[in-house]
């Protein structure tokens, strides 16, 4: 787990000592991702910057890392962020089939050797999370790739002096003037953020900086733009259960998870686990206990009643025999950490759960260097309650299209909050029109009032239409899962997981997001995912002997945050919100008078605007940090031992 920066110059741009120093300086902005060992490397065309968090083969496997076959031992130079969990098996295979020789005991050399012998097919053989840049000194080509689900980030930009890739956008912004990058604000991306609560890939809020998408790779030669190719296309292909087939199919799920967790436990440092009150993290922790009986688990909660799962997590930890550490977050420290958190994020994400995640990662880093977590289970196994919506809207499928549309028109004049209004409205729409992910906050009317730059032609379908086009003919739940893999999962869930843990120099691993686990989950029929009474039906059945009974059928909560209450009562968060809006210089984009009115209405109980307010407030804070420069977060210098 690390932070990388890779620059390939235009032929007319010479790699000078000054340029190497600029890359080194930019790389230091993400020293929190790898405080154990910084490094740089350059030749006539490429400059690499790197920060290493040492997890496997700590004494060796330094980066940038050099590897080559016997006839060209210095052919490849690599910078790599992530972990390859099946590296031991791949090393044996490469040695047996091709006589590959390795100088270290780590997983980094495996990437270079696999690429040399298998080409781009190597990416489909890697079980892990990764973003890497590999420079071929013979072909003069930079090869960059990202893991299938987008667990690890990779930003990219091309300017007048070359192309740069990096684990964090702030590093690319630091090189914008040096490389001639376009770093103007992308107003369409601002509107997409406000609707979705995150910036969808491949966009960022800076026009000239984009993300290499999940499951994709890029080839770059000096003076040429990146050529991007998708190598992984997830597909849900349900196979109905036959009579008597249930137990063997559930056993497949259990076996895939057991194998994935076993491989995710590979490390030369201590591995812990996040533990909420839900089935996903509890299952991962219970399976991890088989490999580390001294496993430490971690959770967080708030002082307000109803916004803490600590008691349930403690009971789960006791049931599986794990040691447990809990962190209670107060409102004052919550507010004080916000500038630092948004700086680490790079892009605004309006998911309040990322704040407690930041605090529990900080607490966990006092005890361990790696944690396992349950992200990805909902998208793979059907865990979101919204996935049950096709069942509730089924009667509308039998109505003629014109009748459904007329019901939508009937719903419009009905008062907000009136029972049946939302059902009529959503039943009048197609799946493609109504579902754009888990985030629903602003209606078009509300958006028009808040965004001065609102354009009706910039809709969520800009993002979702190409994804839906890949799932025509699938059942509605599978289509929703497929959409979330490309939107909510990689735009919200994995961003907050990566950024909040890396902010604390902590490696987070997600065993559910494993190709072998996905292969099993993708074959589940819809009735094994969603029923009228539960979600993740097959997964719950598969985990009956693994998770404690009090968790098995418990509703999903995650890390609930008392935003609605804190923004209604006098206190640090409400004061901060009013001050932020009053001082904001984002009034060209945001109607601050409307936001102030929303705060007033929420404070007095005239309406519940908490999620909409949070979306706007986080953007304003991001704007103050990265555009105005009026807020300068206090970033601590990371100081952690190499090994825990």
Closest C-alpha among 91, 126, 106, 92 to residue 55 = 106
* 72-96: average pLDDT: 96
Report in angstroms the alpha-carbon separations of 165 from 398, 479, 578.
50, 32, 38
Tell me whether domains 2-230 and 246-383+489-552 share a fold.
no
The architecture CATH gives domain 246-383+489-552 = 3-Layer(aba) Sandwich (3.40)
Which three-class secondary structure state does DSSP give residue 366? coil
In residues, how long is the chain? 644
CA 532, CA 391: separation in Å to the nearest integer? Answer: 7
- In this predicted structure, what is the pLDDT of residue 31? 95
Domain ranges of the chain: 2-230, 246-383+489-552, 394-486, 563-628
Q: Is the pLDDT of residue 382 over 70?
A: yes
Burial 408-425 (b: 16+ CB within 10 A, else e): eeebeeeeeeeeebeebb
pLDDT, averaged across the chain: 93
Q: Is the pLDDT of residue 643 over 60?
A: no
CA 81, CA 51: separation in Å to the nearest integer? Answer: 9
* 616-623: average pLDDT: 98
Helix (H) or strand (E) holding 230: strand 227-230
638, with CB counted inside 10 A (0-12, 13-18, 19+), is middle
pLDDT in tens, 209-240: 999 999 999 999 998 999 999 999 999 999 99
Which carries the bigger pLDDT value, residue 463 or residue 550? 463
- In this predicted structure, what is the pLDDT of residue 408? 74
- CB under 8 Å to 632, separation ≥6 — which residues? 339, 625
- In this predicted structure, what is the pLDDT of residue 638? 81
- CB under 8 Å to 592, separation ≥6 — which residues? 581, 582, 584, 586
- In this predicted structure, what is the pLDDT of residue 640? 65
Q: Is the pLDDT of residue 164 over 90?
A: yes
The CATH number of the structural domain formed by 2-230 is: 3.60.20.10
pLDDT in tens, 136-158: 999 999 999 999 999 999 999 99
pLDDT in tens, 313-362: 889 999 999 999 999 999 999 999 999 999 999 999 999 999 999 999 99
pLDDT in tens, 5-57: 999 999 988 899 999 999 999 999 999 999 988 999 999 999 999 999 988 87
Tell me which of 113-122, 312-321, 475-484, 535-544 is least confident. Answer: 312-321
Residues labelled catalytic:
2
* Alpha carbons within 13 A on the beta-carbon side of 25: 11
Model confidence at 644, pLDDT cuts 50, 70, 90, reads: low
Which three-class secondary structure state does DSSP give residue 195? helix
602, with CB counted inside 10 A (0-12, 13-18, 19+), is buried
316 backbone φψ class: left, alpha, beta (φ>0; ψ -120 to 50):
alpha
- In this predicted structure, what is the pLDDT of residue 642? 46
- In this predicted structure, what is the pLDDT of residue 1? 62
This prediction's pTM: 0.95
Backbone angles phi, psi at 209, to 5 degrees: -110, 125
pLDDT in tens, 87-98: 999 999 999 999
């Amino acid at each position: 787990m690390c932070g990388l920066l890779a620059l390939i110059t235009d032929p007319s741009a010479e790699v000078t000592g000054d340029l190497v120093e600029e890359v080194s300086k930019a790389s230091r902005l993400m020293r929190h991702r790898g405080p154990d060992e910084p490094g740089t490397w350059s030749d006539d065309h490429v400059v690499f910057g790197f920060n290493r968090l040492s997890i496997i083969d700590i004494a060796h496997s330094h980066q940038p890392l050099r590897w080559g076959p016997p006839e060209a031992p210095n052919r490849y130079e690599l910078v790599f962020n992530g972990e390859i969990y099946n590296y031991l098996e791949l090393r044996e295979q490469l040695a047996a089939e091709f006589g590959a020789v390795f100088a270290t005991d780590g997983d980094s050399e495996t990437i270079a050797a696999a690429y040399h012998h298998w080409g781009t097919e190597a990416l489909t053989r890697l079980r892990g999370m990764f973003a890497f840049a590999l420079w071929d000194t013979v072909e003069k080509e930079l090869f960059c790739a990202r893991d299938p689900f987008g667990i690890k980030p990779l930003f990219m930009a091309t300017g007048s002096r070359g192309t740069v890739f990096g684990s964090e956008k702030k590093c690319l912004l630091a090189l914008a003037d040096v490389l001639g990058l376009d770093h103007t604000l992308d107003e369409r991306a601002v509107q997409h953020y406000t609707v979705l609560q995150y910036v969808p890939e491949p966009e960022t809020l800076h026009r000239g900086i984009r993300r290499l998408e999940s499951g994709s790779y890029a080839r770059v030669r000096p003076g040429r733009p990146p050529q991007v190719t998708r190598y992984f296309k997830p597909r849900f292909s349900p196979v109905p259960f036959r009579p008597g087939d249930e137990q063997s199919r559930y056993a497949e799920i259990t076996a895939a998870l057991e194998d994935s967790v076993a491989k995710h436990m590979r490390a030369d440092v201590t591995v812990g686990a996040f533990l909420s009150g839900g089935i996903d993290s509890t299952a991962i922790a219970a399976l991890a206990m088989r490999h580390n009986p001294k496993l430490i688990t971690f959770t967080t909660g708030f002082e307000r009643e109803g916004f803490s799962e600590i008691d349930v997590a403690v009971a789960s930890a006791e049931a599986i025999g794990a040691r447990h550490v809990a962190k209670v977050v107060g409102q004052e420290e919550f507010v004080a950490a916000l500038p630092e958190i948004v700086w680490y994020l790079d892009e605004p994400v309006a998911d309040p759960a990322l704040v407690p995640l930041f605090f529990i990662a900080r607490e966990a880093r006092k005890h361990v260097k790696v944690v396992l977590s349950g992200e990805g289970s909902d998208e793979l196994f059907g865990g979101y309650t919204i996935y049950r919506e096709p069942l509730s809207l089924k009667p509308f499928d039998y109505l003629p299209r014109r009748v459904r549309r007329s019901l939508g028109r009937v719903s419009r004049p009905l008062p907000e909050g009136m029972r049946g209004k939302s059902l009529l409205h959503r039943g009048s729409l197609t799946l493609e029109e109504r579902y754009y992910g888990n985030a629903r906050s602003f209606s078009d009317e509300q958006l028009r009032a808040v965004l001065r730059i609102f354009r009706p032609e910039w809709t969520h379908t800009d993002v979702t239409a190409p994804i839906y086009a890949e799932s025509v003919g699938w059942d509605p739940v599978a289509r929703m899962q497929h959409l979330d893999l490309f939107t909510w999962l990689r735009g919200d869930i994995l961003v907050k997981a990566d950024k909040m843990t890396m902010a604390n120099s902590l490696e987070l691993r997600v065993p559910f997001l494993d190709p072998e686990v996905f292969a099993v989950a993708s074959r589940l029929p819809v009735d094994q995912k969603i029923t009228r009474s539960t979600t993740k039906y097959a997964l719950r059945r598969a985990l009956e002997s693994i998770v404690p009974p009090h968790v098995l059928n418990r509703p999903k909560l995650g890390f609930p945050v008392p935003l609605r209450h804190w923004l209604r009562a006098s206190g640090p968060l409400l004061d901060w919100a009013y001050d932020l809006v009053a001082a904001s210089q984002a009034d060209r984009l945001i109607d601050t008078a409307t936001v102030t009115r929303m705060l007033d209405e929420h404070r007095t109980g005239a309406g519940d605007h908490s999620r909409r307010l949070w979306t706007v407030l986080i953007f304003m804070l991001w704007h103050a940090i990265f555009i105005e420069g009026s807020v300068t977060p206090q970033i601590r210098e990371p100081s952690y031992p190499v090994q825990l």
